[in-house]
Each structure stands twice: as C-alpha cells, then as structure tokens.
C-alpha cells in the first residue's frame, strides 16, 4: 500500500460520509426517519447521538447506562460486597502504578527528546550494531547501542504503511480496555455513567465514557482516573503471559499444519514485485541458494541466516564450459544495477582475478547435482568451477508449487527486496476454509495490540491537558478537588468538568502544574518531529 492509495482511501471514506449526511439532510415530505440534523450536524435518537464535523465522526449512546447501574447494584448487594472491596483494593494498587507510570513516562519522554536532539545535531552513530556469531543461536545476536530511545509507530516511516489498518484496530481495542477500566472503577465508587461513545478523527479512533462526578471525593476520582491506564498495564501483562506460554498454539495445531520441517509457505507477494509472476500464495519454498529453510528455526532470523550462509567460503560452485567462460569479461565491468543477459562469474580454483561472462540460467537453475563442484569434488575436464560474482546478487529460490514439480527460480536483485515483497510463514491450512494469512495476521495484530496497550498506558499518564496524567499530577501535588465540582459531567476522553479554580497548596506546586504540562506537550511534539527528521 502506497501513501497515495492510503490518502485516496481516506478521502473517499470521508467523502462518502459527508455524502450520506447531505442526502439525509435534504428535506423530504414523506420522510419518516427518526434522525434529525441540527446546526451542529448531529443525528440523534432516543439513545444514540451521531455527529459529523469535517473529519471528526462521533457516536454517543446511553443504551449501556442501565447495564452499568445494574452492575453498581450488583456490587452493593450483600452477597457481593466482598467483590467490591476486592476491586477497590485492586484499583488502589492501580493508582500507585499509575503514579509510577506517570513519572516514568515523563522522564522517558524528555530523555528521548534530548537523545534525538543530540543525535541530529551531532550526527553521532546511534545505530544498532548486530553480530551474528553462530548460525542457529539467536542468543548469540548481540546489540550495542549508545543510548536507548523510543521510536513512535508512524505508518510509512517506522512501520510498514500496509500495517495501518491493523494498528488502528489495535489502538481502538486498547482504548476500549482503557475506558472499561474507568467504567468498572466508577461502579466500585457508586458513580453512574452518563454515556459511552466512540469517535474517529481522520484515521485515529478513540473511545470515551462520561460520568456524573457530583460531590465525588479526591480519593474516588483518583481511583477512577488511574483505573484506565491500570487496565492497559494489566492487559499488557496478560498478553505477555499468553505469548510466553503460547496458548494460541492449540488452535493453530487444530486448523493449521506446521511445515517448519519442510520450509516456508508463501502467504503473499506484493503486487509491485516482479516475483509475483513466479511465486504464488500457497507454494512452498524449501531452499534459498543452498540454505535449506527447514534448518532455520522459527525464532531464528531467517533472512540473516540466509545472508550469512551466502557469504560463506565453502559454498559449492558450478561447473561451466571453460571455453564459454573465457570468451568475454566485459559484463564484469558494467554497472551492476543495469540489466544484462550475461552475468559475471569468477573462477574458484584459480586466483580471484579470473572472471568470465556466462548465461546464469542453465547452471544455476539446474537440479542436476553433477554441475556442482567444490575443492574436494572438482569439475570434469574442459569444465571450470565458478561462482557468481558477489556484485551480481543472484538468488536461487527452490519452490514447490501446488500440484507441480520442483522449480528453481533465479532472482537478480537484493535479498532485502525478496524479504520486503514476499511474505512467508510456517503454518499451512489443513482445510481450504482456513485462510493462509490468518496466523500471520493474528501474530501481527497481537504484536501491535501489545505495543498499543502499553503505549496507551504511558501516553495517557503524561501530564498533558485532556490526559489522565494531568489529573493525577493535580492529585499528587495536593490540588485534587477538595469541594464538589461545579460541572456534574466528566468525560474520561476529553476530561471535561475538571476543576477550573483549584486552590494551590504552594507556589512551587502552582508553577509545576502550569509549566510541566506545557513542557511535556512541547517535548512530545518535538520528539515526533525529530523522529521524522531522523527517519528521513
């Protein structure tokens, strides 16, 4: 997915919404629809309100209010009071975790911003150096980095643009978990919800829960505010535990077959790749060059191992006719990025200065093992043992197509291009009703869901206006609401109804409450800009 296609899809989506709004807004004598459109471009019914303004779509409903009130009544009944006490104690723990998270998020944000500034200003190497010491030992991969930094998930910059729909879904699920925490904590404090809602701003989804905070104590408000981030933290721990013990393997074993002992199955080939004419979803790749893919574990770096094996000195060569090999060397002095019918080969048994030009297809795509040669197994007379020149970047893909024989495809280009355009997996559906891409899609969604819920934990705890961290900061500084709030409705997404005239306990607390949110917001914006600059 290119940036142009993504922008076009977003434009069409919002154009369609505004077109529907325009149609519904037209006066009709025979209209009996219960929807009405007022000046704020809002549709409403008895339980649902839908508003559309430019690229902001919001839906709010009161349909769940009764359900939440029943939950409050259930917790206050005699037989269930122990559960209410248990939940209150749990959210007290969550409050302290939220305080620690707010401090950690603020420190990490400022530290990351400073490191990015230093990186761009000095152009010093903040890169990661990777060393592959042993072939099949993932623990031997060591990384050295000058300073740890945070990299925002920016589709098309830091993550593939094609993952944008998955990221949006993961963020929305994480926000539902977040708002669910606010709602449950409110029930333990006998606070009813006013409404629940969801919104979409351009492509960013969000969820919200509105409460009545009439006369609520600082303690109760602190528990409700901190419950959302605490739910994200607990959810992240649950996801980490599920991934650790690999609970999903039982479903995959039932619906899919593990083919790690055979190779890798092709899930998808990018439409813009030339390999799309030769590789098909469902085909099996058993070798890339001389590396058998069944010898590479699932946890190993597949492409790193292949690249390392191709650079080994003991790779077998190919026997080619010595006369044909010696005819010309002109292809070895060309621009290797240009297409050419012949490829540059070098002699293995002679010095490295002996080169020749031959057609690579006959020897490299032959399944006859007699054309291979090593130092211990030389070629027959009139033939010479050769290797493709490293600059040629020739890669052999041994493929088994469904209901077809083995086929060797010769790819001229970088291995990174194959990695970028060809999606591989180790699970093959047992039945046709199971999609090829489902396990890989689930794995990506799980990874982004884990990142999104942990990111939401830290992000919401930043002391910035309209975030939970701002109100926790007020509580920590002793500026929690000491009197009943003048606004009865409190929106956990917009933080509406916050104290407008708090009484400061000290001059230092007053200055901190004013300047820390501004500085944090500035650091957040600066870190995003610096990340974009460093990525470019």
Q: Which of 529, 521, 526 is nearest to 466 (CA)?
A: 521
Q: What per-residue confidence (pLDDT) applies to 535?
A: 67
Higher pLDDT, 16 or 246: 16
Other C-beta atoms lying within 10 Å of the C-beta of residue 406:
12
Residue in the structure block whose two tokens are 């990111």: 455
Calculate the average pLDDT of the chain: 82
Other C-beta atoms lying within 10 Å of the C-beta of residue 250:
8
Domain spans of the chain? 3-61, 71-246+445-535, 269-425
CB contact set of 45 (below 8 Å; sequence gap of 6+): 34, 35
What pLDDT digit, counting tens, does each position of 27-46 carry?
A: 655 544 454 444 445 555 56
What is the 3-state secondary structure of 254-283?
HHEEECCCCCEEEEEECCCCHHHHCCCCCC
Structure token digits, residue 23: 């149609």
What pLDDT digit, counting tens, does each position of 50-71 carry?
A: 888 889 999 999 888 899 999 9
Residue in the structure block whose two tokens are 């002793």: 478
- Kindly state the average pLDDT of the residues 200-229: 87
Start-end of H helices in 372-497: 415-421, 438-460, 468-476
Residue in the structure block whose two tokens are 């349909």: 63
Q: ∠ at Cα 392 (391, 397), nearest 5°? A: 130
CA distances from 162 to 3, 112, 406 (A): 9, 27, 31
Structure token digits, residue 123: 């152009």
Specify the range with the lowest mean pLDDT, choosing from 199-203, 357-361, 485-489: 485-489
Note the pTM of the prediction, 2 decimals: 0.77
Asked whether the predicted pLDDT for residue 274 surpasses 80, the reply is yes
Report for 73-87, 143-157, 210-224: range of highest mean pLDDT: 73-87
- Kindly state the average pLDDT of the residues 329-351: 81
CA distances from 345 to 279, 337, 415, 517 (A): 26, 16, 19, 63
What pLDDT digit, counting tens, does each position of 105-131 carry?
A: 999 999 988 888 888 877 644 443 333
Q: What per-residue confidence (pLDDT) applies to 500?
A: 44
What's the farthest any 2 CA atoms get from each other in the chain? 99
Asked whether the predicted pLDDT for residue 146 surpasses 60, the reply is no
What pLDDT digit, counting tens, does each position of 396-449 carry?
A: 999 998 766 788 999 988 899 999 899 999 999 988 888 999 999 999 999 999
Cα(206)–Cα(451) distance, rounded to whole angstroms? 16
Higher pLDDT, 495 or 232: 232
Structure token digits, residue 1: 């997915």
> Band of the pLDDT at 350, cuts 50, 70, 90?
low
Q: What per-residue confidence (pLDDT) applies to 232?
A: 97
Q: What per-residue confidence (pLDDT) applies to 137?
A: 42
Q: What per-residue confidence (pLDDT) applies to 263?
A: 93
Q: Which of 492, 476, 478, 474 is nearest to 212 (CA)?
A: 492
Higher pLDDT, 125 or 465: 465
DSSP secondary structure code for residue 159 in this structure = B
Cα(284)–Cα(287) distance, rounded to whole angstroms? 9
Asked whether the predicted pLDDT for residue 180 surpasses 70, the reply is yes
What pLDDT digit, counting tens, does each position of 517-526 carry?
A: 999 999 999 9
Other C-beta atoms lying within 10 Å of the C-beta of residue 135:
15
What pLDDT digit, counting tens, does each position of 88-98 carry?
A: 999 999 999 99
Return the sign of the alpha-carbon dihedral for residues 347, 352, 354, 357.
positive
CA distances from 81 to 68, 75, 101, 222 (A): 16, 6, 30, 21
Q: What is the H or E stretch that residue 251 is in?
A: helix 249-255
Cα(455)–Cα(451) distance, rounded to whole angstroms? 6
Start-end of H helices in 26-143: 65-76, 81-122
């Amino acid at each position: 997915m290119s940036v142009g296609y993504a922008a076009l899809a977003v434009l069409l989506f919002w154009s369609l919404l505004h077109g529907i709004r325009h149609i519904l807004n037209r006066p009709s004598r025979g209209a009996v629809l219960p929807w009405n459109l007022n000046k704020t471009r809002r549709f409403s019914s008895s339980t649902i309100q839908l508003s559309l303004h430019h690229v902001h779509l919001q839906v709010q409903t009161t349909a769940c209010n009764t359900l939440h009130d029943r939950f409050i009544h259930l917790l206050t009944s005699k037989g269930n009071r122990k559960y209410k006490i248990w939940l209150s104690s749990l959210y007290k723990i969550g409050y302290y975790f939220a305080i620690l998270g707010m401090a950690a998020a603020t420190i990490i944000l400022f530290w990351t911003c400073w490191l990015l500034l230093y990186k761009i200003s000095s152009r010093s190497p903040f890169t990661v150096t990777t060393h592959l010491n042993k072939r099949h030992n993932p623990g031997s991969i060591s990384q050295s980095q000058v300073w740890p930094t945070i990299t925002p998930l920016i589709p098309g910059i830091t993550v593939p643009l094609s993952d944008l729909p998955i990221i949006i879904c993961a963020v929305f699920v994480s926000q539902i978990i977040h708002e669910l925490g606010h709602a449950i904590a409110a029930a333990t404090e006998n606070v009813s919800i006013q409404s629940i809602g969801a919104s979409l701003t351009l492509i960013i989804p969000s969820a919200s829960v509105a409460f009545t905070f009439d006369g609520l104590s600082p303690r109760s408000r602190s528990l409700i505010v901190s419950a959302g981030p605490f739910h994200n933290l607990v959810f992240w721990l649950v996801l980490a535990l599920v991934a650790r013990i690999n609970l999903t393997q039982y479903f995959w074993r039932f619906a899919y077959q593990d083919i790690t002992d055979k190779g890798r199955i092709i899930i998808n080939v990018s439409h813009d790749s030339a390999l799309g004419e030769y590789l098909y979803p469902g085909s099996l790749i058993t070798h890339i060059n001389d590396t058998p893919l069944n010898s590479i574990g699932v946890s190993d770096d597949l492409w790193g191992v292949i690249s390392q094996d191709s650079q080994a000195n003991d790779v077998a060569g190919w026997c080619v006719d010595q006369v044909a090999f010696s005819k010309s060397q002109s292809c070895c002095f060309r621009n290797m990025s240009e297409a050419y019918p012949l490829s540059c080969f070098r002699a293995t048994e002679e010095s490295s200065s002996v080169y020749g030009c031959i057609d690579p297809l006959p020897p490299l795509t032959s399944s006859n093992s007699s054309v291979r040669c090593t130092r211990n197994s030389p070629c027959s007379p009139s033939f010479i043992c050769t290797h493709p020149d490293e600059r040629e970047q020739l890669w052999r893909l041994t493929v088994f197509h469904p209901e077809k024989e083995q086929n060797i495809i010769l790819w001229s280009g970088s291995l990174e291009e194959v990695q970028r355009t060809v999606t591989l997996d180790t699970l093959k559906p047992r039945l046709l009703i199971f999609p090829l891409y489902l396990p890989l899609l689930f794995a990506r969604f799980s990874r982004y869901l884990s990142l999104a819920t942990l990111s939401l934990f830290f992000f919401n705890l930043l002391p910035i206006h309209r975030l939970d961290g701002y109100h926790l900061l007020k509580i920590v500084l002793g500026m929690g609401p000491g009197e009943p709030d003048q606004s009865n409705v409190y929106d956990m997404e917009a933080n509406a109804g916050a104290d407008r005239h708090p009484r400061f306990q000290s001059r230092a607390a007053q200055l901190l409450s004013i300047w820390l949110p501004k500085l944090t917001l500035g650091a957040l914006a600066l870190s995003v800009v610096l990340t974009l600059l460093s990525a470019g």
